[in-house]
Structure 1
Amino acid sequence: MKTPPRISDQEFQQRLARTQKLVRTAGLDAWIAHSNEADFANVRYLSDYWPIFESAGVLVPAEGDPILLIGPESETFAKSRSKIPRIRKLGAYREPAEPDYPSIAVHTFASVMREALGRPPRKIGLAGWAILPLPVYLGLQDAFPKAKIVKADDLIFRQRAVKSSAEIACLREAFRLSELATRKAIARMKPGMTELAIAGLAQGVIYANGAEYEGLPQYVLAGIASSHAIGRPGYRVIGKQDLVQLNLSARVHGYSASWGCPVCVGKVNKAVRALVEFGLRAHQFTETLMKPGTPASEVALRYAEFVNKEGFAEYMLYGPCHGIGMIEVERPWIETSSDYALAPNMTFQLDTFFYTPEKSALARENGRPFGLRWENGCRITRSGCELFGTRHRRLVKARG
């Protein structure tokens, strides 16, 4: 097995330096990025630390050295991973069971800010706003009642949106592993297997070939479960004429990929074929829109017009793309409300999802609701886009 690509120590230091400059430009005294085990990206982007059970933060002062903020149990683990040497334990980052830890000495927000700034902060920016635990927010308020606390996600999201060559290498490898797992799953899939059995095959493939983790729960969603936009595999048994939403994922040094397609098991009826083949055309059409300088809102508008013109608007839940990088679904989304243009080395997931609402014509014709997802990643180049996985070209069938 070859050594997977990695982000260098130098690149982590460059990220921290850029972030500190942005903190000063924003007029902040200090900025704290937050992460947890599920949404690990902000903290890992700056430190390579990935919390387990507990949450974590990175404190970047306007001047001076950054500090990794962790829970009481994680010190040895954090020291083994972190690119930030200064690490401090705080009770606010403890696990959700809220143990008291009477025998563990911890720091406070007042003590770490005094160490970082030498004085109380007047203005604090927070990133990871949507997942910030209440104990962290209230702890900052209690420690600094006169400070202004503001949402400051853009300081890191602007950086994460445009990828370096090392980040792109990690994504390419993650997509290679995801596609490898998907092709293995299709080759082994047959009626009588459970969704979880297929997911287990995928896990074996990605770990055996160098992945550090899956990028998301492996989507093996059969029959009526294929209509789920978000789901988990279960004990459902794959039937002789099921449509399976198959989207398998791998993560390489913090970068997550998902490559997949709808898989038809056995005979394909007219309703399923109509939506699957239209979904593929919509997916291929999206690829033609991904060019540098194109307003993201224009991509979304043209995609919606295409779907509407073809007569499938009632089956569209969202579309057509979202950002991909450390998290398989991350900013920026491509939506009609988007206010930015595509730029070289931005990376997106072409996420083409359609489903049949319960009383829709195709659901009635099929006898039950179903859905599908064609998915591949891409990098915006100077003239168009580079697909990370093999281009989808035709309806996919497994053994019936």
Structure 2
Amino acid sequence: MTARLTRLRDRMAETGTDLLALGPGAHMQWLLGFHPHADERPCLLLVGPKGAAFLMPKLNADSAAEFTSLPMHRWSDDEGPSAALAASLAAVGGEGARSVALDETMRLDFGLLLLDQLPGAARTFCDDTVGRLRMSKDAEEWATLKAEAAIADAALKTAWAEMRPGMTESQVADIIKASFAASGAKALFTIIGAGRNGAFPHHATGETVLREGDAVVMDVGGTKSGMSSDITRMAVVGQAPEGYAEVHAVVEAAVQAAMAAARPGVKAHVVDDAARGVITAAGYGDYFLHRTGHGLGVEIHEPPYLTSVSETVLEEGAVFSIEPGIYLPDRFGIRLEEIVYLTKDGPQILSSLPRDVRVVGR
């Protein structure tokens, strides 16, 4: 915690940020290793030139104090938060802040409460401070993400061994959830898209029955140790549908092109351009419906985002997905997703599963 807070204050100095305010959520979780109970009562972590302190509802203060020694300026329901907020600002040296970075995920009323006390302050968000620091994972974070990926790999293997024609998408998802649980983890999402449902990138897993000849998109992720996993692989039930092999080969080539483009110092859109170029050249450009990737860490989706317009420069230590896809309406969809750790020599894949289609149900 102390090291990350020091890094954050150094980054604030570099960016000319006088005051930073975080609400309970992923930024605070990354910075402190916990976040207090989140409800409608204003709760803020303020970081300024004199240090850090909490604006804290009394109702939650004692439980939060079990996890942090940072000072808390407490307020009760009958008092309201205004006086405690003024004291918090004074404690961290933020009363005269001219540049304030707000947690982009905090409640709007929390942010407005703070800005009302700082008339004239310029407002930014945390993408260039906490967000920038979160993009570069340290060795401990990398090891945790690698372990999370192994749990997701095992869940897919378990599902493949049990999948049969006649099962529903939900039944397959239940197998995956049970595998996560058996590893002491929690499944965060289980997208199972059978047949034509695979053409919906974020299909809502339901009661569609798996049938012979279905291609099945399997996008799953979970968490055990405070970080996330995310992986997409393909299965076919018995015989693959007509045209499947050609489309799978194009998506695989797009993955490889994106991998080759991903290097420290490269802008994120270059990786997206590489994957999209392969798919467009093969005639499927209109069927690649989303960005090539997103960062992964405390959250499943976090910076950097690999889009066609992103100017974010990828740095060594970044962790992100490479997941091009082709979605053919009323036929099938194919997405292949790797989570990679960017080293000085290029991306290192966290999963140990091959990207070949897995034949199930035999």
TM-score by length of 1: 0.80
Quick one: which amino acid aligns to residue 350 of structure 2?
Answer: F
Question: CA 1:85/1:253 → structure 2, altered by over 3 Å: closer, same or farther?
Answer: farther
Q: How does 1:295-314 map to 2 (within 5 A)?
A: 295-314=267-286
**Deviates most, 260-269 or 163-172:** 260-269
Q: Deviations over 1:228-284 (max 9, x none)?
A: 222442333333332221122122432111122121113212133432332223223
One of 172, 181, 184 as aligned partner of 1:210 = 184
**Aligned counterpart in structure 2 of residue 85 of structure 1, from 49, 70, 87:** 70
Residue 107 (structure 1) shift:
6.7
Q: Secondary structure at the match of 1:255?
A: coil
The runs of 5 or more residues in structure 2 that have no matched partner are none
What's the counterpart of residue 98 of structure 2?
123
Aligned to 2:6: 17
CA contact (8 A) 1:182 1:247 kept: no
Q: Does 1:113 align with 2:61?
A: no
| Distance of 2:204 and 2:71 partners within structure 1 | 38
Report if aligned partners of 2:232, 2:335 keep a CA contact under 8 Å in 1: yes
What is the match of residue 61 of structure 1?
48
**Distance in 2 between the 1:372 and 1:192 partners?**
21
CA distance in 2, matches of 1:29, 1:193: 57
SS of the residue aligned with 1:233? Answer: coil
**Equivalent residue runs for 1:303-382 within 5 Å:** 303-356=275-328, 363=329, 368-382=330-344
> Conserved in 2, the CA contact under 8 Å of 1:54 and 1:71?
no
Cα deviation per residue 1:175-233 (whole Å; 9 max; x = unaligned)?
A: 0111111111111112232323222222222232233x33x422222233322222442
Aligned to 2:338, what secondary structure does the other structure show?
strand
2: distance between equivalents of 1:252 and 1:399? 30
Taking a change above 3 Å as real, the CA distance of residues 225 and 77 of structure 1, as seen in their structure-2 partners, is farther
The Cα shift of 1:102 comes to 5.5
Cα shift at 1:18: 1.1
Deviation at 1:169, TM superposition (A): 0.6
Counterpart code for 1:137: G
Secondary structure, counterpart of 1:270 in structure 2: coil
**Residues 298-352 of structure 1: CA deviation (Å, up to 9, x unaligned):** 3222222211222221211133222222222211122332324433221121112
What does residue 359 of structure 2 align with? 397
Give the match's secondary structure for 2:228: strand
After superposition, residues 243-254 of structure 1 pair within 5 angstroms as: 243-254=215-226
Runs of 5+ unmatched residues, structure 1: 1-11, 92-100, 357-362
- Cα distance in 2 for residues equivalent to 1:72 and 1:220: 44
In 2: Cα distance, 1:217 partner to 1:87 partner: 36
The whole-number CA distance in structure 1 between the counterparts of 2:62 and 2:206 is 36
Question: Where does residue 270 of structure 1 map in the other structure?
Answer: 242
Matched, 1:384 2:356: no
- Worse-matched range after superposition: 329-338 or 71-80: 71-80
Which residue of the partner structure matches residue 33 of structure 2? 48
CA distance in 1 between counterparts of 2:280 and 2:81 reads 61
For the pair 1:221 / 2:193, whether they are aligned, the reply is yes
- Partner residue, 1:185: 159
Distance in structure 2 (CA, Å) of the matches to 1:376 and 1:269: 24
Q: Does 1:200 align with 2:187?
A: no
**Does the CA-based 8 Å contact 2:321-2:337 persist in structure 1?**
yes
Do 1:222 and 1:236's aligned partners in 2 also have CA atoms closer than 8 Å? yes
Structure 1 position 391, deviation (Å): 5.0
Write the distance in 1 (CA, Å) between the matches of 2:170 and 2:78. 42
CA distance, structure 2, for counterparts of residue 79 and residue 206 of structure 1: 31
Matching residue's letter, 1:126 = A
Conserved? CA contact 2:192–2:205, under 8 Å: yes
Aligned residues: 360
* Equivalent AA in structure 2 for residue 392 of structure 1: P
Secondary structure of 1:241's partner? coil
**Cross-structure match for 1:97:** none
Contact 2:55–2:85 (Cα < 8 Å) also in 1: no
Report how far residue 398 of structure 1 moved: 1.3
Cα distance in 1 between the residues matched to 2:355 and 2:317:
25
Q: What TM-score do you get using the length of structure 2 for normalisation? A: 0.88
- In 1, Cα distance between the equivalents of 2:2 and 2:318? 21
Structure 1 residues 330 and 120: CA distance shift in structure 2, 3 A: same
Matched, 1:166 2:140: yes
User: Does structure 2 conserve the Cα–Cα contact (< 8 Å) formed by 1:20 and 1:63?
Assistant: no
User: Counterparts of 1:181 and 1:249 in 2: how far apart (Å)?
Assistant: 9
Amino acid corresponding to residue 46 of structure 1 in structure 2: L
Secondary structure at 1:257 match in 2: coil
Instruction: Please tell me whether the aligned partners of residues 262 and 374 of structure 1 are also in contact (alpha carbons under 8 angstroms).
Output: yes
Partner secondary structure for residue 220 of structure 1: strand
Q: Does 1:141 align with 2:115?
A: yes
Percent identity (aligned):
21
Give the Cα–Cα distance (whole angstroms) in 2 for the partners of residues 57 and 207 of structure 1.
33
Cα distance, 1:70 vs structure 2: 5.4
